[in-house]
Structure 1
Amino acid sequence: MEKNKCFTSGNKFLLIIFSMITSILFAQNMYQVQYILTFKPQQNSTLEKSCLMTLYVHGLNSTFFDNEMLKADSILTSSKNKFEQSGEILDYDTDIDVNFTFVINKNLENKNIIYMDHILNGLNPLMIAYQEPVELEWKLTNEISTEQNYICQKANLQYGGRNWIAWFTTQIPIQDGPYKFHGLPGLIVKIHDNEFNYNWELEKIQSNKSNSFITPIFSNQKIKFMSKQEFENVFATYTKNPMQAFNELSEEVLDSYVPGINVKLREYIKTQGDIIKNKYSSSTNLIEL
């Protein structure tokens, strides 16, 4: 990485010319932008994890999610189909490491963001969602740096209780980025908070004039919209008791064996509930404080 340096008139001129050329090349394309996120799941800890996350961009709309969600969604769909056909429940392996179950849809034209997440609803997973306008007050600086082989400009932001530092490039004229971040004059190549709790870096980008890789994500799931406050309340309750939907089952049903797994339903519910609760309880360092 080159050391940061201030803009000169020559640098500005080259950026303007290059931006005009790439704007023409990228204008009609759709994009699959992949980021690698390095983050600290727990507060006051140096332990770090990493995962791949994808931003699908189509015009002024985009979708952002953890790559493992695609794998999980495929398995959940297969499990549901098998249950409907044979009454059996797939005993799928727990090697799916989904760090973030949310899905974020952005509309850059009206600055609206739809934030969705998953909860179990008996045997039918349910997506709950809220919509909110997000206006980000970026402060652009005159610093430039080469990040991931792109000429980037630095911008600062206060959002969600954290101070963020972003590097964006006008070489890729997409005013978008990971998570809820958007609104800069180019694609966000790198963004992190000032304590490096969360650090997204561009891994790769693909462009295509067709929508061959723009697949409807989780399109088979029901989506229930609610206010942001209601969403937070429902999700908080879910993380404490993720198997609540099974609470009203009779003792007879709970003592029956799960088809295809050969364990009692009450044991299966407890095991799955503990896995989900442990997952959420081990992630105390939220993106937004």
Structure 2
Amino acid sequence: MRKSIVILILSIMSLAAIYAEETRTFESEVSYLATCIKDTVTNKVLTDTFKLRFDGNKALFYNVETFAEDSLKHNDLTAWQKAIGSALTRKQRADKANSSYYILADLQQKTYIFKDKIGTNSFSYTDSLPAFNWQLKSEYKDIAGHRCAKAIGKYMGRTYEAWYATDIPTPVGPWKFYGLPGLVLSVYDTQHQYNFTFIDMQPCHGEITLFPSKSFKTTKEKFLKEYAIYQNDPIAYYNDRAMIKINFGKAGNDFEQEIKNDNRHRIMEILK
């Protein structure tokens, strides 16, 4: 009798392990190339690589380089300080967009947390996942072996065309794109100033959470207004509003020229 009980317990444990392994396979991570037009006169294109990590409850969208830096800071502060020191003396690639935000979505509550920096100041806010009022179209194309259908949606001053995978029934996508009956593999605004393009998808067993850090709690509207102040004059923002002051020294030095903002188009979310 005792032997039978032991066998039964072991069988249950084995089944539980198999079930746990199966449920973990639903956790995936998609890589996207994020591009934006920095200057609509010269059509200069800037890029970053982002990843979307998701399961049935949550989704995390993050910049690959920012995530690596924050992970190092969280796990090895000394190594992070050395890496930051080296980065300050290394010139970054000319086509880097420097989009360093995180978006952590709660798919059950239909809310998200947005975290980003303006200058040296960190901000975060919580908001509801956007309603794009998607219109599903009877247009299809193949993206990396997935049959994708087209949808058109509108949000904060822009119209977007999205292509979602009909064989991956999850309502998530890059950035804040949400609510379609399949994973968004490609999406862009109709002016083609912002574009997210599928690179690949891999299984993922990492955590879907944000690194602990201090930030100013704000709202989406206040954040966008603060960013508009920075965008209008980054140098003045560093001098007047940044928590960590930067002394530029002689006017026109290399660092000042590097952060000079020459955007000639609006950011993704357009305030009325």
Question: Match for residue 3 of structure 1?
Answer: none
Dislocated runs of 4+, deviation >4 Å: 25-28, 74-85, 88-92, 245-249, 270-273
Q: Is the Cα–Cα contact under 8 Å of residues 53 and 208 in structure 2 kept in the other structure?
A: no
After superposition, the C-alpha distances for 1:162-206 in whole angstroms (9 at most, x for unaligned) are: 211111113122211011101111100111122222221110011
2:196 to 196, 200, 223: 200
- Indicate how the Cα distance of structure 1 residues 58 and 83 shifts in structure 2: closer, same or farther if over 3 A, else same: closer
- Letter of the structure 1 residue corresponding to residue 63 of structure 2: D
1:274 to 249, 253, 256: 256
Aligned length: 240
Q: Is the Cα–Cα contact under 8 Å of residues 152 and 168 in structure 1 kept in the other structure?
A: yes
Deviation at 1:158, TM superposition (A): 1.3
- Letter of the structure 2 residue corresponding to residue 198 of structure 1: Y
Deviation at 1:154, TM superposition (A): 0.9
After superposition, the C-alpha distances for 1:40-98 in whole angstroms (9 at most, x for unaligned) are: 1223442223321111113321111222223444677799748999xx96644232745
Q: Is the Cα–Cα contact under 8 Å of residues 62 and 101 in structure 2 kept in the other structure?
A: yes
Matched, 1:224 2:216: yes
Aligned-pair Cα RMSD in Å: 3.8
Matched, 1:33 2:30: yes
How many Å separate the matches in 2 of 1:156 and 1:246?
39
Question: Match for residue 127 of structure 1?
Answer: 122
Question: Match for residue 142 of structure 1?
Answer: 138
How many Å separate the matches in 1 of 2:80 and 2:171?
43
Question: Match for residue 171 of structure 2?
Answer: 175
Matched, 1:242 2:238: yes
Deviation at 1:245, TM superposition (A): 6.2
1:48 to 33, 45, 54: 45
Q: Is the Cα–Cα contact under 8 Å of residues 126 and 221 in structure 1 kept in the other structure?
A: no
- Letter of the structure 1 residue corresponding to residue 146 of structure 2: Y
How many Å separate the matches in 2 of 1:119 and 1:154?
34
Equivalent residues in 2 for 1:248-263 (5 A)?
A: none
Question: Match for residue 191 of structure 1?
Answer: 187
After superposition, the C-alpha distances for 1:220-272 in whole angstroms (9 at most, x for unaligned) are: 421332122332343344554124467998xxxx9xxxxxxxxxx6649x969
* Matched position secondary structure for 2:177: coil
- Indicate how the Cα distance of structure 1 residues 231 and 46 shifts in structure 2: closer, same or farther if over 3 A, else same: closer
How many Å separate the matches in 2 of 1:215 and 1:203?
20
How many Å separate the matches in 2 of 1:174 and 1:273?
43
Deviation at 1:34, TM superposition (A): 0.4
- Indicate how the Cα distance of structure 1 residues 26 and 181 shifts in structure 2: closer, same or farther if over 3 A, else same: farther
- Letter of the structure 2 residue corresponding to residue 170 of structure 1: T
Q: Is the Cα–Cα contact under 8 Å of residues 36 and 97 in structure 2 kept in the other structure?
A: no
Question: Match for residue 286 of structure 1?
Answer: 267
- Indicate how the Cα distance of structure 1 residues 116 and 34 shifts in structure 2: closer, same or farther if over 3 A, else same: same
Q: Is the Cα–Cα contact under 8 Å of residues 52 and 173 in structure 2 kept in the other structure?
A: yes
How many Å separate the matches in 2 of 1:247 and 1:225?
15
How many Å separate the matches in 2 of 1:248 and 1:187?
40
How many Å separate the matches in 2 of 1:39 and 1:47?
8
**Identity percentage of aligned residues:** 21
Please say which of residues 89-98 and 71-80 is displaced more in the overlay. 71-80
Question: Match for residue 107 of structure 1?
Answer: 106
How many Å separate the matches in 2 of 1:76 and 1:282?
31
How many Å separate the matches in 2 of 1:271 and 1:215?
41
